[in-house]
Amino acid sequence: MNQLGEKIARKRKDLGITQIEFADKMCVTRQTVSRWEAGTVYPDIDKISDIAELLHVSCDYLLKDDAEEESAGSLSGISRLLKSAEGKIVRLSFFDEEADPDLYKAECRIIAFEGNWMKVEAETKKGTLEKLIPVSSILSLELVREDA
């Protein structure tokens, strides 16, 4: 296994994502992910930034053998967007297999964003609901308004 493959496999497993789930999100087959991780093939260069974003690491971390994971600490574009959305009212949509019925079409306030998780608050028919949701389950985020 090469270092790129080892890094992909380790980060994917750390995030609790199966090869099948990772492949679906990357629009490739599970066998392709397996080959990347085994080091028998390398991902196309246009896939590297998508892999880095999905795994919450930098492209440098993936591509440079001597890059430390901590050097991937600068916020990615998606992380900066989510961090800037803290306190704002948003509408979230989720990947189909991870749909959250409590938050479907609900206006949510992003209370906190920390790495792979986001804490949201929503008014539902059941009352005020606070939930911790994985960022990887979010397909899109629509800003509804700046404050309640």
Q: What are the domain boundaries of the chain?
A: 3-74, 78-145
Closest of 55, 69, 63, 65 to residue 11, by C-alpha: 55
118 near 130, Cβ under 8 Å? no
Decide if pLDDT at 106 tops 60. Answer: yes
pLDDT digits over 56-105, tens only?
888 888 888 776 654 344 555 666 677 778 888 988 888 765 567 778 77
pLDDT digits over 14-48, tens only?
989 999 999 999 999 999 999 999 989 999 888 88
φ and ψ at 104, to 5 degrees?
-60, 120
Separation between Cα atoms, residue 117 and residue 84, nearest integer Å: 14
Per CATH, is 3-74 categorized as 1.10.260.40?
Answer: yes
> What is the CATH T-level fold of the domain 78-145, as seen in this structure?
SH3 type barrels. (2.30.30)
Q: What is the dihedral of CA 91, 94, 100, 104, to 10 degrees?
A: 40
The pLDDT value recorded for residue 1 is 47
